[in-house]
Each structure stands twice: as structure tokens, then as C-alpha cells.
Chain A
Amino acid sequence: MASTDMEDGELLQGVARGDQDALLTLHKRYVNLVYSMAWRVLQDVGLAEEVTQDIFLKLWRKGRQYDPARGRFSSWLLSVTRFAAIDRLRREERQPSPANLAVGEQDETAALEQLLPTDHAAWERGQHLRLVLEQLPSEQRQIIELAYFGGLTHSELAEHLGLPLGTVKGRLRLGLEKLRALWLDETGKKHEAARPTY
């Protein structure tokens, strides 16, 4: 069987045996997804590229770190990427910035094809969640993005935004509660035309 037709699990076993083709197939399959996360966090093409390559090199050297019992490979991979990118952001002493939605909208179809067949569904859910996020009041959306993609904690958010700690905690909590409610609503009523209420 050609490596391009293999499931992630088989490819990971190949990686553990030192099969370069298996890793390169995983790279082709997930490079855009990993790069998108790295780019979203770092907002810098060069740094995002470095973090992306690093993630796959680590997979090569320590392929066994992924534990299938703890969820999908793609989620694990993106979670590792998020932490690595946030770590890089801190080491470069860069400030996290809001999403630049103008970038990255091109070539969606080509990239989407690369994701198939493994995680089309998860990707679609995520992109739908992004639209839901955009329904939040802008100050709540901003603080969620700074926390999640910028890796800032309560006290760091307070400093970054120049707001009292209590305000920051309240705003993040309300934003996340609202996002969750909207998301439950959207996923629950996916096929209904009704606007979500909250």
C-alpha cells in the first residue's frame, strides 16, 4: 500500500521504525494545519516555519510520545504546536497580537485537500467555531484569543491590556461562558435555521 493511503496510526508506527516516507506523508498531510496554528500564534512567517519544521523533527526523534489512548493524532499535534509556538513567542519576547484575518484566506481548497481524508470533520468544526467566536463582543473575543493563542494568563492579560486583574478575570470568564453557550447551541441545532439566542 502506498504510504499516502495509510492511516495516521500506521504512519506513526512507520515513523517509530525510522521510515522517512511515513514521516514525509504525515508532513504533507498536516503541514498546513500545523503551520496555521504556528502562524496564528507567532504572526511571523519565518518563526512559524521554524516551529512547524521543529514539530515534525521532534515527531521523528520522539515518535512514541503520542499516546492514541488520549485522543486523535491531529488534536495532539496541534496542541503540541500551540505550546511550542507560545513558548517561542515568549522566548522571542514578542507581544501576542490579534488575528489578521486578511491573511490565510487564499488557497483554502488546496490546503483542505491536504487534510483529507483524516480530519476534514474536525477542521470544519474548528472553522465553524471561528465564526461563532466572531459573534462575541469584540473585547471578549480579543481576550479569549490573547489567552488561547497568545498564551497569556490572568495577570499577564491584565498587564498587556492595562486593566485591573478583576476586570480581566470577569471578562475572560464571561467570554468563554458565552462562547461555550453559543457553541453548544450551534452544534446542538446545527440543522435548524434559528439564530442562536443568549
Chain B
Amino acid sequence: MRQHDQLIELIPAYAMGATDANETQAVEAHLRVCAQCRDLAEDYRGLGDDLLFAAPLASAPVGLTEELRKKLNAAPPAAPKRAGWLDWLRKPGFALGALALVALVLTNVYWAGRVGSLQRQTSEFAALTQADGITLQVADGQTHADGVIYLQPNSNVALLCVYALPELEPGKTYQAWLVEDGRRVSAGTFDVNADGYGALLIQAGRPVNEFQQVGITVEPAGGSPEPTTPRIMGGNL
């Protein structure tokens, strides 16, 4: 009962998404056992829904619809089929996508503190996009996502690209793993942009094709020494 008295005070903030992570956890655990708090949370969620329409009205700049029409002609269609990523890479609109990917790769490499020579990275990237891609298998619940890893035989470098993965909440990151005899070695962490695109330039100590598998998990920011959550995507090398 004491717990109820404390947690019911957090319900309004919780329904607006304003509780801190530890509070959110405590409230959610309590909601499973307390009908009164569940009703109250539902009530405040209704208020939150009405607030969605309470922003002052601002007129979008003219021409946005026309601009969207142009973008659509360069973008992949809804619900891409499983091979969508590879098809998309071959589309004329890829030029823009490739630039975005280079930027992403460089950003990820930069933030990982592993910048050697940006020029070298870029040329390696260019070579890899000519390489054969291996399409990754997607775990249940990630049905819109696609992934592909590009590697060349006997090269220590590979390029991992993902498409339509959800953006993660702050404090979380995607982490790639290379698997050898059941042992998982970190291949680096990466984030995805607002469109769900992400890319990671993997630099292994030896040829990437000597590993048996690649996998991706969600880990706390900074990455983990070994996976702490189930794999969301992966494939045989």
C-alpha cells in the first residue's frame, strides 16, 4: 500500500513520458498489479492524446508536397521485399543514399575514435560497395528491417548496412558481432539515422570471411563485452 501511495503520484508524469527510467520501471511494475493506477494512467493518456492537437497552428512552407513527390520518385516503395536493400542499391537514386552512407560510416568510425585516414576509409568503402553482399536474416518483430554485409575474400574489412531499423532510445546502441566457434567478438557499435539507415565499417584483426556468422543486438550505449540481448538480425558468412 505504501508503494501505491508513492507511485500513484508519478502516474501523471508517467503518462506524459516525463518519468526518469528508474521511475518508469517502478510505475510499470506497479501498473501490472494495481487496477486503480491503471485507470488513472489511462485517463492521463487521454489528456496526452488531446495535447497532441494542442500545438499552436503553424502553416507548413508551401511546396512541401511537390518536394515530397520528387523524393518519392527517388525512394524505395513501401514494404520493401526482403531483397529490397540490394535492389535499392542499384537504383539511380542510390547516389544520394551512398553519400549518406559514407557520411554515416565516417561518423560512426569517427565517434568510435578509430579514425585512421578518412581517405583510406572512403576508398575501402568504395571498393566494398562493388563487393558481393550477403543479405542478413531478420528476427521476428523486425519485419520491415533489412540488412546486408559486404565483404571481399581475405579482406579484414567489411561494410555492414542496415535499413529500416528503429531508432533507439537514448542510452542504447546497436552492436555488431562476429561469431567464431560459438564465441562472439564485438565488431563495433553503430546508430541509425531518422530513416532507419545505419552502417558500420567493420575492421577485424583477420579476414572477415573466416568468421562463421555476423549478428546484431541492442546494447547499452558504449557497447557490451558480449551480447546481453537476443539477436535482431544476422547471417552466415
Could you say which interface size class chain A belongs to? Answer: 35 or more
- Please list the residues of chain A having a beta carbon within 8 angstroms of any beta carbon in chain B: 15-18, 20, 23-24, 27-28, 31-37, 39-40, 45, 48-49, 51-54, 56-58, 60-65, 71, 74-75, 78-79, 82, 84, 87-88, 90, 99, 101, 103-108, 110-112, 119, 122-123, 125-127, 129-130, 133, 144, 147-149, 151-155, 157, 169, 172-173, 176-177, 179-180, 183
Task: Evaluate contact between B64 and A49: CB separation under 8 angstroms.
Answer: yes
Can you name 25 A-B pairs with beta carbons within 8 Å?
Answer: A15-B78, A16-B79, A32-B57, A36-B57, A45-B61, A48-B58, A52-B60, A54-B194, A57-B75, A61-B75, A61-B144, A61-B164, A64-B144, A90-B170, A104-B56, A107-B57, A122-B50, A123-B53, A147-B18, A153-B17, A153-B18, A153-B20, A155-B20, A172-B18, A180-B43
**Residues of chain B from 38 to 94 with CB closer than 8 A to chain A in the complex:** 43-44, 47-61, 64-65, 67-69, 71-72, 75-80
- Point out the residue from B9, B44, B49 that lies within 8 Å of A180, measured CB to CB: B44
Judge whether B98 is part of the interface by a CB distance below 8 angstroms: no
Task: Evaluate contact between B50 and A126: CB separation under 8 angstroms.
Answer: yes
Known contacts A122-B53, A179-B47, A180-B47: does B20 contact A35 (CB below 8 Å)?
Answer: no
From residue A44, how far is it (CB to closest CB) to chain B in Å?
Answer: 11
Known contacts A24-B69, A62-B144, A172-B18: does B76 contact A101 (CB below 8 Å)?
Answer: no
Tell me the complex Cα distance, A144–B54, Å. 12
- Point out the residue from A17, A33, A84, A148 that lies within 8 Å of B194, measured CB to CB: A84
Tell me the complex Cα distance, A31–B77, Å. 20
Judge whether B140 is part of the interface by a CB distance below 8 angstroms: no
Tell me the complex Cα distance, A53–B80, Å. 19
For A65, the chain B residues whose CB sits under 8 A away are 144
Tell me the complex Cα distance, A62–B167, Å. 14
From residue A172, how far is it (CB to closest CB) to chain B in Å?
Answer: 5
From residue A97, how far is it (CB to closest CB) to chain B in Å?
Answer: 13
Task: Evaluate contact between B56 and A61: CB separation under 8 angstroms.
Answer: no
Contacts between chains A and B (CB distance < 8 A), count: 194
For A82, the chain B residues whose CB sits under 8 A away are 52
Known contacts A106-B59, A173-B12, A176-B44: does B52 contact A53 (CB below 8 Å)?
Answer: no
For A87, the chain B residues whose CB sits under 8 A away are 167, 194
- Point out the residue from B17, B76, B79 that lies within 8 Å of A151, measured CB to CB: B17
Could you say which interface size class chain B belongs to? Answer: 35 or more
Known contacts A32-B59, A36-B56, A57-B71: does B51 contact A148 (CB below 8 Å)?
Answer: yes
Per CB-CB distance, the 6 closest pairs between chain A and chain B, nearest first, are A126-B53, A35-B60, A104-B58, A40-B55, A176-B12, A147-B18
Tell me the complex Cα distance, A180–B39, Å. 14
Tell me the complex Cα distance, A111–B12, Å. 32
For B5, the chain A residues whose CB sits under 8 A away are none
Task: Evaluate contact between B56 and A176: CB separation under 8 angstroms.
Answer: no
Task: Evaluate contact between B65 and A79: CB separation under 8 angstroms.
Answer: no
Main secondary structure of the interface of B (DSSP, over half): loop
Interface centre among A62, A106, A130, A169 (most CB of B within 10 A): A62
Contacts beyond the supplied A107-B57, A153-B21: 13 A-B pairs with Cβ under 8 Å: A32-B59, A32-B60, A54-B194, A56-B68, A61-B76, A64-B78, A99-B55, A126-B51, A147-B13, A151-B17, A154-B18, A155-B20, A176-B44
For A177, the chain B residues whose CB sits under 8 A away are 12
From residue B137, how far is it (CB to closest CB) to chain A in Å?
Answer: 19
For B9, the chain A residues whose CB sits under 8 A away are 169, 173
Task: Evaluate contact between A23 and B72: CB separation under 8 angstroms.
Answer: yes
Task: Evaluate contact between A169 and B13: CB separation under 8 angstroms.
Answer: yes
- Point out the residue from A20, A53, A110, A119 that lies within 8 Å of B67, measured CB to CB: A53
Tell me the complex Cα distance, A104–B77, Å. 33
From residue A169, how far is it (CB to closest CB) to chain B in Å?
Answer: 7
Known contacts A32-B60, A35-B59, A148-B16: does B54 contact A127 (CB below 8 Å)?
Answer: yes
For A23, the chain B residues whose CB sits under 8 A away are 68, 72
For A16, the chain B residues whose CB sits under 8 A away are 78-79
